[in-house]
A and B are shown apart, each in its own frame.
Chain A
Amino acid sequence: MLTQPVRSRSLGPRLLRLGLDALAWGLALAWLSFIVWALVASLRPAAEPLGRGDVWFGSTLTLENYRRAWALAPFARYYLNTVLLVLSILGVQVITITLAAFAFAHTRFPGQRLVLFFVLLQLMIPTTALLAPNFATIRRLGLFDTILAIGIPYYGSAFGTFLMRQAFLEVPQDLVDAGIVDGCSWWQLLRHVYLPPSIPTLVAFALSSVAFHWNEFLWPLVVTVSDRSRPLTVGLVRFTQLGEIGARWSLLTAATLLVAAPLLVAFLVFQRRFIQSFLYSGLK
């Protein structure tokens, strides 16, 4: 397949290979330039403004911008909020989608297609589009300005249910039958037969869920107002809007990286697993 086509010794494929290499490296460096610049700029002394031809290193490297950004907003609290947010969403989702997917994959019940279609509504109408009426619901439930308010619309996940259902459907029927013969309860079937081979899918879903909610901005902006619930993204935007003064790039990039760092570092460390779990998750 595509890993093979350049095996031949003639000049054309070799040129092609060189061309593709050059293209890949060029694009990769262009893509990386954003984060590299941000990192360099965040270490630049604040008193040295960027200018034409002088946008990278300053006279020295300093962590002062991080200290300043940290002092300007309660980032520690934002971290805590964001972590609580993504973990609580994920925790509930894992339960809801596993149970629902099991019901859809393993059992037949009257109205099943209808229920499945109803759940899939959530895929067709993204929750973000419903922010105005959902805001009203959150107000009515008395959840306004809580971490729960940011997370609760996502506690049920059509995407996750659908993914897990696909994974469960691929579990060989022999295994399931064997389990039933052994007298497994539904819970044991799920736990010992369905779940183990579906873990990669679950991990892939978990990663995409965490990344999505870590990065979400608009809905938290709307349903939170105080630091006891605000996540990192909403906190960051304050820096781009420090109304009275001009944004300083060094301060802004420091704040930006503070917000993005945990996921980026996690990604670097678990890079293989991140991408692999996507590859094996049945997202084909």
Chain B
Amino acid sequence: MVRRPPLLPYLLVLPTVVFVALFTAWPTLLAVYQSFFRQRLNIARFREPTFIGWGNYQELFTSPDFQQVLANTAVYVAGTVPVSVVLAFLLAVLVNRRALGIGFQRLAFFYPTILPMVSAATIWMFFLTPDYGLFNQALAFLGYRGPQNWTANPDLALFAVMMVAIWKNAGFFMIFYLAGLQSLPTDVFEAAALDGAGFWHQLWLLTLPMLRRTTLFVTTIAVIGAFQTVDHIFVLTAGGPSNASTVLLYWLWQVRFEYQNVGLAAALTVVLVAILLVFTVTNFVLSERREA
């Protein structure tokens, strides 16, 4: 099967390679390059780029805003990813049973995936409304008496946008677990059941370990997704109050398109890409090692 005309494979991968080169590789390099220049489009004399070395990075790393945004991003990722993945697993287990209305339940958990994030956020905006928002009413019914202004309270705003993301994504990740669960060999479980292994026992000691690859895959897409989805922040909080819900990509958008600071935005892009690369490469190496 190696007897293809040697040119063919290259031609076949060419379109993909061209698009990846143009919209992944090139912009990464361009960002690195631009990050060493000062270019601010809303100041007449800084409109043309000037080389300033590490100036943008210096500005970035001495900015308290940047530190807060980094911290917010860390909380956002570290909060949404594990919770939505665990929830997804739980939901998958629930809807992988044979019971009345399972199809309906799968539908209920999966539909947020189909809903645009901006739509989801718009509906959540109502649910989070103080006093009569349904989320607050449900909480009050359960005895919660704390603050209700989820999108305006500095301690809650980030949490609020995280909830929306978890709600939206859990059903999507559930599908992967569901696929994983259905591909598991039944005989192992039958044997375990015969040995008297209970439900929880099977869940923790058999199912979870056997779905390790699924978990790795889901976690990876969850992390990358967490870095790149900020739509709900536009709708719910606009990054506020006092930057409390501003994460990296949202701030990057602000710096580039609101403040029109091209150089600083390029430096931010480099930081974001570096974080993502460190994560994915580490992840890749770890999983390869474990597979080996």
Contact = CB atoms under 8 A, between A and B. Distances in A.
A and B touch in the complex (CB under 8 A): yes
Interface of A: 1-7, 12-13, 16-17, 20-21, 23-25, 27-35, 37-38, 41, 50-55, 95-97, 99-100, 102-104, 106-109, 112, 115, 118-119, 121-137, 152-158, 161, 176, 180, 186, 211, 214-215, 217-218, 222, 232-233, 236-237, 239-240, 249, 252-253, 256-257, 259-260, 263-264, 267-268, 271, 274-275, 278-281, 283-284
A100 B118 contact: no
Given A3-B97, A115-B17, A125-B277, 8 more contacts: A2-B203, A27-B91, A107-B12, A122-B24, A132-B256, A218-B230, A237-B235, A279-B179
Nearest to B232: A217
Contact of A156 (B17, B114, B132, B190): B17
A155 B19 contact: yes
Nearest to A173: B1
Chain B contact-residue range equals 35 or more
A3 B203 CA distance: 12
Nearest to B266: A132
B207 interface: yes
Interface centre among A35, A218, A233 (most CB of B within 10 A): A218
A136 B28 CA distance: 12
Contact of B16 (A119, A129, A237, A284): A119
Contact of A99 (B12, B110, B134, B262): B12
A24 B94 contact: yes
A37 B107 contact: no
B224 A233 contact: no
**B30, B124, B214 interface centre (most CB from chain A within 10 Å):** B30
B228 A20 contact: no
A156 B19 contact: yes
A105 to B, nearest CB: 10
B95 A24 contact: yes
Interface in B107-122: 107-120, 122
29 contacts: A1-B186, A2-B181, A2-B203, A4-B189, A5-B202, A6-B199, A24-B99, A27-B91, A35-B123, A41-B126, A52-B131, A102-B12, A109-B9, A115-B17, A124-B281, A130-B24, A130-B269, A131-B253, A137-B22, A153-B19, A180-B1, A211-B114, A217-B118, A218-B230, A222-B257, A236-B122, A253-B122, A284-B179, A284-B180
